[in-house]
């Protein structure tokens, strides 16, 4: 494992993707930054993090003979690995909010951004970025955000947290390499936030409806049982869970 530590960078994902564009890095090459000036989240959102208080990192995972249609399993593996690692630090009520936000109860503590590397129509690997709120105490205008420290009162060593996450990533990616698809999907669905509970959703046209999350498809679409008693599937851009 090769870890690159930086004081400040625009984005750890961008840094690692630039490396990939020149030559594929070693498996589990890690880039960690004390400050990200242009941290990115899902759907182009910006990731806010106080300098030195949080864990902002990206990991390169190499793949061989991996089918592009199975790429949502990478998202499952990463969210499960981070959730399991946080469980070791006694973070309570951990859930995965589809597709891969990590929550404690209903507070977001970690965001994940996965960018897959495909060259010559072959899946080469993934740049896995995550922003984990570790010791930050204040979040301006983010009522649904929290941190490990706020949840437990403990000041955490970020290197120890990173070590646990990397350890669990290796465990879960080994399961993926061994094609344990059914077990991984079952564990992911078990940990889904608000699964089997009546929930409120918003569509892109701002229409609100009630439904119940039943799971995900192999491709990562959310399966929602709707009021007209049928199960519909939704892409990330097609649906917002209100909570």
pLDDT in tens, 3-32: 999 999 999 999 999 999 999 999 999 999
Element (H, E) at 22: helix 12-22
Element (H, E) at 11: none
DSSP sequence for 140-194 = TT-TTB--HHHHHSPPP-HHHHHHHHHHHHHHHHHHHHTT-HHHHHHHHHHTBTT
pLDDT in tens, 162-178: 999 999 999 999 999 99
Kindly tell me the sign of the dihedral angle through the C-alpha atoms of 107, 57, 182, 87: negative
Structure confidence at residue 40 (pLDDT): 59
Residue 121: band (very low, low, confident or very high) from pLDDT cuts 50, 70, 90? confident
- Residue-range domains of the chain with CATH: 2-190 (3.30.930.10), 198-242 (2.30.30.100)
* Closest CA relative to residue 123, chosen from 176, 65, 177, 179: 65
Mean pLDDT of the chain: 94
């Amino acid at each position: 494992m090769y870890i690159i530590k930086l004081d400040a960078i625009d984005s750890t994902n961008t840094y690692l993707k630039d490396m990939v564009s020149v030559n594929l890095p070693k498996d589990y090459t890690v880039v960690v930054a004390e400050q990200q000036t242009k941290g990115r989240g899902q759907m182009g959102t910006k990731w806010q993090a106080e300098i030195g208080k949080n864990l902002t990192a990206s990991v390169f995972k190499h793949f061989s003979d991996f089918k592009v249609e199975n790429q949502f399993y990478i998202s499952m593996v990463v969210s499960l690995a981070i959730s399991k690692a946080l469980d070791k630090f006694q973070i309570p009520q951990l859930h995965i909010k589809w597709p891969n936000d990590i929550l404690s109860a209903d507070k977001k503590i970690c965001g994940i951004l996965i960018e897959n590397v495909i060259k010559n129509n072959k899946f080469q690997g993934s740049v896995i970025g995550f922003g984990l709120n570790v010791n930050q105490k204040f979040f301006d205008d983010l009522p649904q955000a929290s941190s490990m420290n706020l949840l437990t009162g403990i000041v955490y060593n970020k290197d120890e947290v990173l070590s646990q996450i990397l350890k669990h990533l290796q465990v879960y990616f080994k399961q993926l390499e061994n094609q344990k698809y059914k077990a991984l999907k079952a564990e992911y669905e078990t940990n889904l936030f608000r699964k089997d509970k009546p929930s409120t959703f918003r569509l892109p046209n701002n229409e609100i409806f009630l439904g119940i999350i039943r799971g995900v498809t192999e491709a990562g679409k959310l399966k929602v049982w709707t009021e007209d008693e049928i199960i519909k599937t939704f892409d990330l851009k097609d649906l917002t869970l209100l909570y």
